Amino acid sequence: MRITRSLPLLVSCLSIATAPAGESPGQAAATDKVGAEVVVGAERPGPGLWKVMKDGHVLWVLGTVSPLPKDMLWRSREVEHVLARAPELIEQESVGAHLGFFRTLCVLPSLLRARFNPDGASLREVLPADLYARWAALKHRYLDKDKNVERFRPMLAAAVLYERALKSSGLSESSAVLDTVRRLARRHGVKVTSPLIELEVADPRGAIHDFMETPREAEVACLAATLERIETDLDRMRERAQAWAVGDIDALERLRSPDQDTLCLEAFTSAPRLHAKFVELQDKARAAWMASVDSALSRNPETLAVLPISELLSPDGRLSQLVARGYTVETPR
């Protein structure tokens, strides 16, 4: 679920506020690139489509991988052919938030303060000595000009470091593949269904307070997992990207990514009141996606859906849930 990218605006602004002075959010310096870039010169088709069937109707599912090369050229004729026939595209579910503009302005000072450790401590004071030494080495490599990050909460410092490490390696968490699929859908007049759970943030200050109660040990675990992934998984990210680009499902099975995302999502939602809300939202969002699939397959001879490939390869992911609901699933060759 795209909940890490579409949590309430209060928390989204926290990551925006982590941009170093002089940079716009999401913009990294173009100099000092570190590591070998991924170069994909020709158009790549990505993996084949999973086929989900019931009562003569078919749901085709495209699996996506992130990160991918920033400048990769992607074109799947199989996806184009499906969208030429299918009347509907189902995207992954997301969570949106209602927060008025003026209420956002009222809580902005509190929001900016929430970037930092509640006691004003630096990362050197917060982290174990061995973990801080690893952090300092990677910070010197990827964030040498950023002084403010030393005062960030461990979870947010990890997010800034991870984003810069990807960019320095020629990788990006962009939605280029989904954007291409959407353009194709518009070209063919295909209806786009984006299951959305709306969250009303009635008490913005309370939401900030809840976030600031995140247990420090959970934040430190997120940062440690992020350091390990940068240290050990950048090369595998490039291999994973190349395997996806040529549709090598066996290689993608072998190159499963570490649990950094899971640990950081757990940290992000570990404050008691936030965790209860997250579990509720997660259940509602998945139910909304399943309801969209059931509805589309009852109406359309063919439908296309897009999901992260981790969901498709997981033994307890969406495909296994569809099998449990009586659907037949075929894996692409």
pLDDT at 23 over 70: no
CA dist 28 → 117, 146, 152, 258 (Å): 24, 11, 18, 25
Question: What pLDDT, on the 0 to 100 scale, is given for residue 211?
Answer: 72
Question: What pLDDT, on the 0 to 100 scale, is given for residue 5?
Answer: 37
Per-residue pLDDT tens for 47-91? 889 999 999 999 999 999 888 888 777 888 899 999 999 999 999
Supply angle C-alpha 220, 226, 230, rounded to 5.
145
Where do we find the tokens 């990514």? 257
Q: Is 109 exposed, middle or buried (0-12, 13-18, 19+ CB in 10 A)?
A: exposed
Per-residue pLDDT tens for 281-301? 778 888 999 999 999 999 999
Give the residue among 167, 164, 181 at the shortest CA–CA distance from 70.
167
pLDDT at 30 over 90: no
Sign of CA dihedral 227, 231, 236, 240: positive
Per-residue pLDDT tens for 217-272? 988 999 999 999 999 998 889 899 889 888 898 998 888 877 777 778 778 777 76
Measured CA to CA, the distance from residue 93 to residue 69 in angstroms comes to 24
Inter-residue contact 199 to 97 (CB < 8 Å): yes
Measured CA to CA, the distance from residue 294 to residue 175 in angstroms comes to 25
Measured CA to CA, the distance from residue 321 to residue 52 in angstroms comes to 11
Supply angle C-alpha 154, 175, 14, rounded to 5.
30
pLDDT at 28 over 50: no
Measured CA to CA, the distance from residue 44 to residue 75 in angstroms comes to 6
Beta bridge partners of 172: 68
How sure is the predictor about 202, in pLDDT bands with cuts at 50, 70 and 90?
low
How many angstroms separate the first and last alpha carbons of the chain?
26
Query: Can you spell out the DSSP letters for 118-145?
Result: TT---HHHHS-HHHHHHHHHHHHHH-TT
